[in-house]
């Protein structure tokens, strides 16, 4: 098949939305839908994706899309699955796309219920590591030592002092068939994972790293570069887990120090101003090295 034939004539997520320039999430949404195809119903909780795609009278979604409240994407998705079953429409699939706040925090209980019941939903978390729609408050997905509005850096604090919740592991512990992590810096890999997830039935989970130029504070043309540095430092490990077993990892060809990733984002600027900050950078490096070891990211 030629590349021309594979490229859809019309995107299912078109321009005209109101995301910030360089938004990783907008790029991610377009490519998610390229991989799912058009026979899907998408549900999205409150968050940037919902806000920038639903100004009154306009929509970039070219598939049926439901917006609901912040905490219940998994419950709404389960309800849509039940309705489709009642109608005998077994070809139409349900995809939930929610932010990290909606997924790691407020929607976590509903997510666990959806996974435990075995509902046939592909749940995709577009992870920008904070509550961006409301101005950048910390979430359980915020990485350690990033400054946020509710975990600010200053004389008494070096930013968020807690670890990022390891949600892929927690989700996998529900015994579901497919869990993967992806990055908008590697769109081929991302689409391959979404397509693969669509071949399974039952609950599936993909967590996508989606850099946010506005709140991570970096120039908007650097979105892909920041995404790549996250992956190649080891801070954003990319893997697939099928039925509880790691089946693939994206190898790092040239490892970069975490400081190359951190120093391009103002949310980490305070780490470069003090001795204490240097100490915290070493701790972040240790986290990256642990990931590299755990997932075998450097081995051939
Ligand atoms: C019950 C409830 N609490 C708080 C809010 C306010 N609120 C709307 S979006 C949002 C944060 C969304 O964060 P996330 O899920 O990470 O999505 P992002 O905006 O970062 O893409 C918050 C706190 C709300 N809408 N409903
Ligand atoms: S705040 Fe960040 S995630 Fe939200 S639209 Fe802007 S760039 Fe995208
Ligand atoms: Mg977020």
In a domain? residue 246: yes
Q: Is 66 exposed, middle or buried (0-12, 13-18, 19+ CB in 10 A)?
A: middle
In a domain? residue 121: yes
Average pLDDT across the chain, whole number: 96
In a domain? residue 152: yes
pLDDT tens per residue, range 3-26? 555 555 689 999 889 999 999 999
Evaluate if residue 213 carries a pLDDT over 60. Answer: yes
Distance 100 CA to ligand 2 centre (A): 13
If one residue of 13, 18, 19 were mutated to test the ligand 2 pocket, choosing by the most ligand atoms within 8 A of its CB, it would be: 19
- Return the ∠ at Cα 284 (arms to 278 and 287), rounded to 5°: 150
Report the predicted TM-score, pTM, of the whole model to 2 decimal places.
Answer: 0.97
Nearest protein CA to atom 13 of ligand 1, as residue:
131
Under 8 Å between Cβ of 97 and 29: yes
In a domain? residue 93: yes
In a domain? residue 111: yes
Does 22 sit in the ligand 1 pocket, CB within 6 Å? no
Question: E-assigned strands of 192-289?
Answer: 204-209, 239-242, 245-249
pLDDT tens per residue, range 141-180? 999 999 999 999 999 999 999 999 999 999 999 999 999 9
- Residue 262 CA to residue 271 CA, distance in Å, equals 9
Under 8 Å between Cβ of 111 and 74: yes
Residue 220 belongs to what domain range? 3-295
Distance 246 CA to ligand 3 centre (A): 26
In a domain? residue 300: no
Does 70 sit in the ligand 1 pocket, CB within 6 Å? yes
* CATH code of the domain covering residue 168: 3.40.50.970
If one residue of 133, 167, 212, 215 were mutated to test the ligand 1 pocket, choosing by the most ligand atoms within 8 A of its CB, it would be: 133
Sign of the alpha-carbon dihedral angle for 165, 177, 122, 189: positive
In a domain? residue 115: yes
Our count of domains for the chain comes to 1
In a domain? residue 262: yes
Nearest protein CA to atom 4 of ligand 1, as residue:
70
């Amino acid at each position: 098949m030629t590349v021309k034939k594979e490229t859809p004539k019309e995107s299912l997520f078109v321009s005209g939305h109101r995301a910030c320039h360089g938004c990783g999430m907008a790029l991610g949404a377009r490519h998610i839908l390229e991989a799912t195809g058009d026979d899907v119903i998408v549900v999205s909780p409150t968050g940037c994706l919902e806000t920038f795609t639903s100004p009154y009278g306009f929509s970039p979604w070219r598939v049926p899309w439901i917006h609901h409240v912040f905490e219940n994407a998994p419950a709404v998705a389960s309800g849509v699955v039940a309705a489709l079953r009642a109608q005998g429409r077994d070809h139409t699939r349900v995809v939930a796309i929610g932010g990290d706040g909606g997924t790691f925090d407020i929607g976590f209980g509903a997510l666990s219920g959806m996974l435990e019941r075995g509902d046939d939903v592909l749940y995709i978390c577009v992870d920008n590591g904070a509550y961006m729609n409301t101005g950048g408050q910390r979430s359980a997905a915020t990485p350690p030592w990033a400054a946020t509005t509710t975990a600010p850096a200053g004389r008494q604090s070096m930013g968020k002092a807690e670890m990022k919740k390891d949600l892929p592991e927690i989700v996998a512990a529900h015994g579901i068939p497919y869990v993967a992590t992806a990055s908008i810096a590697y769109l081929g890999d991302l689409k391959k994972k979404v397509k693969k997830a669509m071949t399974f039935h039952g609950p599936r989970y993909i967590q996508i790293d989606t850099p946010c130029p506005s709140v991570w504070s970096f120039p908007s043309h650097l979105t892909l570069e920041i995404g790549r540095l996250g992956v190649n430092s080891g801070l954003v490990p990319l893997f697939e887990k099928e039925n509880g077993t790691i089946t693939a990892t994206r190898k790092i060809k040239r490892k970069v120090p975490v400081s190359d990733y951190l120093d391009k984002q103002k949310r980490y600027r305070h780490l470069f101003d003090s001795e204490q900050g240097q100490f915290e950078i070493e701790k972040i490096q240790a986290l990256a090295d642990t990931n590299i070891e755990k997932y075998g990211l450097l081995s051939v």
